[in-house]
């Protein structure tokens, strides 16, 4: 029987444990604060930001939301980030990507105080991750490590193929998995749009992590019997549903499930974990900045 990992269940267990951390912080007079900055009128970005805010409200993290006109000058975003850097109530800052074309997103990320960069995208934090001493593990790859742990899939000594080399998922995932640390010690291959024979690579993998943003790119014929398959993709396919689309992953779930021993669904797999780990990093940031030790799950 294939084990379909319930990401909502794993995320809610982590959030329960985080509530204990919040109690410790509250009893020391600290309320963690997360600032979200949205400079876009893209519907998906708006949804992601509001999901993150709701999650903060539910657990008791202070929410500070700033919305900027997508046509405003880049300077406006820089000023907003600087304001938040200086605000002692804010322990974590998240600028929702993508930003408009006239904004240099790398420069924006460099402007965030690295101690408040709970996404882990500031060059200092990327460097620390690569050096094996991460300040904050980027949320999606960290969530995937927790999903593997929840299913008793030990990456040590395993061949892992990651499909996608983005700064948000593919690269930090590879960096976490090669580390000589729990949840690491894997032999990692990173595939991308120029990989010549993707199927040959994925077929050799004990663990496949699909993060290409291409609907149902990886099907059952590309999966080894008994493999673990983690689907990061979130793709909207036009459909005659109430909202006008269906959400599908980068994995063709039904055929991959026939082969896999462990698999994540879309939705309800990686997505809820990304949010849980954002809460995790914000609480971690508050604990460090306010010097109140906590026991993170």
Positions marked catalytic:
52, 96, 119
Distance CA 37, CA 77 (A): 9
Which is closer to ligand NAD, CB of 44 or CB of 156?
A: 44
- Interface residue with ligand NAD among 112, 212, 260, 277 (CB under 6 A) is 212
Which residues, at least 6 apart from 294, have a Cβ–Cβ distance to it below 8 Å?
21, 24, 25, 283, 284, 287
Q: How many residues sit in the footprint of ligand NAD (CB under 6 A)?
A: 25
Residues 52-81 that bind ligand NAD (CB under 6 A): none
SS (H, E, C) 85-135: HHCCCCCEEEECCCCCCCCCHHHHHHHCCHHHCCCCCCHHHHHHHHCCCCC
Distance CA 170, CA 140 (A): 10
Does the annotation flag 165 for ligand binding? yes
DSSP 207: E
Find tokens 């204990």 and name the residue.
Answer: 20
Does the annotation flag 164 for ligand binding? yes
Query: x/- site string to ligand NAD, residues 215 to 244, per CB under 6 A?
Result: --x--------------xxxx---------
- Interface residue with ligand NAD among 111, 125, 179, 274 (CB under 6 A) is 274
Which residues, at least 6 apart from 265, have a Cβ–Cβ distance to it below 8 Å?
4, 5, 7, 231, 249, 253
Residue 257, helix vs strand vs coil = helix
For position 256 contacting ligand NAD by CB under 6 A, the verdict is no
Shortest Cβ 171–ligand NAD spacing (Å):
9
Shortest Cβ 28–ligand NAD spacing (Å):
31
Which is closer to ligand NAD, CB of 84 or CB of 174?
A: 174
Which is closer to ligand NAD, CB of 130 or CB of 214?
A: 214
Does the annotation flag 89 for ligand binding? no
Strand 235-238 and strand 245-248: the pairing is antiparallel
Distance CA 287, CA 23 (A): 12
CA dist 55 → 152, 268, 282 (Å): 27, 15, 12
Shortest Cβ 139–ligand NAD spacing (Å):
7
Query: x/- site string to ligand NAD, residues 101 to 120, per CB under 6 A?
Result: --------------------
- Interface residue with ligand NAD among 49, 118, 151, 169 (CB under 6 A) is 169
Shortest Cβ 35–ligand NAD spacing (Å):
20
| Binding span for ligand NAD by CB under 6 A among 147-155, 181-189, 210-218, 283-291 | 210-218
Distance CA 74, CA 94 (A): 16
Which is closer to ligand NAD, CB of 52 or CB of 158?
A: 52
Task: Phi first, then psi: give them for residue 259, nearest 5 degrees.
Answer: -100, -35
Does the annotation flag 234 for ligand binding? yes
- Interface residue with ligand NAD among 120, 164, 172, 183 (CB under 6 A) is 164
Distance CA 151, CA 295 (A): 22
**Interacting residues with ligand NAD (CB under 6 A):** 140, 163-166, 168-170, 191-193, 195, 198, 211-214, 217, 232-235, 270-271, 274
Known binding positions? 164-166, 234
Known binding positions for NADP(+)? 164-166, 234
């Amino acid at each position: 029987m294939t084990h379909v990992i319930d990401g909502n269940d794993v995320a809610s267990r982590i959030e329960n444990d985080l509530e204990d951390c919040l109690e410790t912080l509250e009893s020391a007079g600290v309320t963690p604060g997360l600032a979200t900055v949205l400079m876009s009128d893209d519907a998906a970005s708006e949804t992601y930001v509001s999901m993150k805010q709701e999650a903060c409200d539910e657990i008791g993290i202070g929410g500070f939301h700033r919305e900027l006109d997508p046509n405003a000058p880049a300077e406006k975003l820089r000023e907003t980030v600087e304001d938040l850097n200086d605000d002692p109530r804010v322990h974590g800052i998240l600028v929702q990507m993508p930003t408009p074309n006239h904004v240099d997103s790398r420069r924006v990320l460099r402007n965030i105080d690295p101690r408040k960069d709970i996404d882990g995208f500031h060059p200092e934090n990327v460097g620390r991750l690569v050096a094996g001493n991460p300040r904050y593990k980027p949320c999606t790859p960290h969530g995937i490590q927790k999903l593997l742990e929840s299913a008793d899939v030990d990456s040590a000594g395993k061949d892992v193929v990651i499909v996608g080399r983005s700064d948000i998922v593919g690269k930090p995932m590879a960096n976490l998995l090669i580390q000589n640390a729990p949840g690491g010690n894997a032999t990692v291959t990173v595939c991308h749009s120029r990989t010549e024979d993707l199927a040959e690579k994925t077929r050799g993998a004990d663990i496949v992590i699909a993060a290409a943003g291409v609907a149902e790119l990886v099907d059952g014929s590309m999966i080894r019997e008994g493999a673990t398959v983690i689907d990061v993709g979130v793709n909207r396919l036009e459909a005659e549903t109430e909202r006008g689309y269906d959400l599908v992953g980068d994995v063709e779930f039904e055929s991959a499930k026939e082969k896999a021993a462990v698999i994540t669904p879309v939705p309800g797999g990686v997505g809820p974990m990304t949010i849980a780990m954002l809460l995790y990093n914000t609480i971690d940031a508050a604990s460090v900045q306010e010097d109140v030790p906590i026991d993170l799950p």
